[in-house]
Amino acid sequence: MGMTHIVDRRLNGKNKSAVNRERFLRRYRGHIKKAVADAVQRRSITDIERGENVSIPSRDIQEPTFHHGQGGRREVVHPGNKEFVAGDKVPKPQGGGGQGGGQGQASPDGEGMDEFAFQITQEEFLDFLFDDLELPNLARKKLKDTESFKYVRSGFSTQGVPAKLDVVRSLRGAHARRLGLGGARKKKIRELEAQLAELLAAPDDLDPAFSHEDQIQVLEEEIARLKANVRRIPFIDDIDLRYRQHLKQPQPATSAVMFCLMDVSGSMTQMHKDIAKRFFILLYLFLKKNYKKIDVVFIRHHTSAKEVDEEEFFYSRETGGTIVSSALKLMHKIVESRYPPSEWNIYAAQASDGDNWNDDSPVCSKILADRILPLVQYYAYVEITPQDHQMLWYEYEKVMENFPQSFAMQQIADPSEIYPVFRQLFERKAA
């Protein structure tokens, strides 16, 4: 009997089918999420875009398999032994386990890791990374964050507000109605008036028993009645009014702008800036999953604020005192001049060590509440310090009470807290 060879000529080669891969990712979702969580702790956030290798425990990958059997009839003599007979118990080997030939990984729960490992792509890695997160307001406002709306003309309606009344079309309808209701009556009036004129022009009949006065009186009464009916037709009626009708048509708004505000005063060390940079990068990656185009605006401040590029934002040595309101004012100015909220989804993240001129902190909370938060989708404040909170934190707490859906704040004391704090700031809110 000859051997059969199977050649796979599918376009998606062996183990590369997109449908099979999706099913595979769903099946081992728990293992992949654990591997992604471990990678977040192990890797730098700046290196978090690439994929990840995932290993699967051997007990979870066992599946029924088909293979060629021996076939036919065979006669086999199995060797015996001199030590054991049926029913004997084999003792455990002394001195620990044997040296296996496999290269599997040991695991703390005693379950061996099979040699089988696979690579998840950057896209899949980010999907699992953000699996439990959600852009604020995205569920509640649904398409508003990813779509804007414009009003388009959609005919006319018989009901509406006075501001949308179309005067010309309403008068045109009223004129048509008056023609429809009064046209027949006016024609009848003209005919009766012509008969009345003939009677008035004709001489009286010689027969004294016959007179035109009765006919004239009847015609005059009928003409008067018809004219009264015509006068009762209103010049314009409610049914004549026509209002312009507009419908909301969705307009894709797939652009977002991310404002990065950072304190660069003398109290902000390079360690503080590195933590802030990792938080900003994580937020950028998160927004990149939801918007096609993202602009990033870097604003650094000490006693005055300045828009800079990324290199100067993180590594400039310029320092000074701290006036946070200068950065907020500059952000509001940039939004008004370059990023109208009707066209852009605006996000902002502010990083600071909490130090600020005390008289300036109430000004900051007022600018946030009155000018900035009504325009943005979300504003996150992270205080990078292990020390006690200062005046700025307590002022921002008042803002958070008034804007719980669009403002959040957390404290970060160590680089390992960046991702947990990020998850807290952007965790999925209950509907």
Evaluate whether 326 touches 269 at the Cβ level (below 8 Å).
no
3-state secondary structure 311-327: HHHHHCCCCCCCCCHHH
- Tokens 């704040």, located at residue: 409
Helix (H) or strand (E) holding 179: helix 167-201
Tell me what pLDDT residue 144 has: 33
Tell me what pLDDT residue 101 has: 45
Evaluate whether 367 touches 378 at the Cβ level (below 8 Å).
no
Tell me what pLDDT residue 204 has: 60
Q: CA–CA separation, 387 vs 353, rounded Å?
A: 9
Q: CA–CA separation, 146 vs 344, rounded Å?
A: 9
Tell me what pLDDT residue 95 has: 60
Evaluate whether 55 touches 113 at the Cβ level (below 8 Å).
yes
Distances (CA, A) of 185 to 1, 174, 175, 239, 359: 106, 17, 15, 21, 83
Q: CA–CA separation, 425 vs 249, rounded Å?
A: 32
Tell me what pLDDT residue 270 has: 80
Tell me what pLDDT residue 259 has: 93
pLDDT in tens, 187-225: 888 888 888 887 777 766 545 555 567 777 788 888 888
Tell me what pLDDT residue 348 has: 92
**How many CB atoms are located within 10 Å of the residue 83 CB?**
7
Tell me what pLDDT residue 369 has: 92
User: For the purposes of burial, counting CB atoms within 10 Å of the CB of 330, is it exposed (0-12), middle (13-18) or buried (19 or more)?
Assistant: buried
Low-confidence ranges of the chain (pLDDT < 50): 15, 45-46, 98-110, 113-114, 138-147, 206, 430-431
User: For the purposes of burial, counting CB atoms within 10 Å of the CB of 160, is it exposed (0-12), middle (13-18) or buried (19 or more)?
Assistant: middle
Tell me what pLDDT residue 169 has: 87
pLDDT in tens, 21-78: 777 777 778 778 778 777 766 665 446 666 777 776 665 556 667 777 767 777 777 7
Q: Do the bridges between strand 52-57 and strand 113-120 make them parallel or antiparallel, or are there none, so unpaired? A: antiparallel
Q: CA–CA separation, 260 vs 379, rounded Å?
A: 10
**215-234: burial string, b at 16+ Cβ within 10 Å, e else:** eeeebeeebeebeeeeeeee
Evaluate whether 281 touches 46 at the Cβ level (below 8 Å).
yes
Distances (CA, A) of 40 to 133, 137, 383: 15, 26, 21
Q: CA–CA separation, 413 vs 395, rounded Å?
A: 20
Tokens read off for 287: 């927004």
Q: CA–CA separation, 108 vs 330, rounded Å?
A: 53
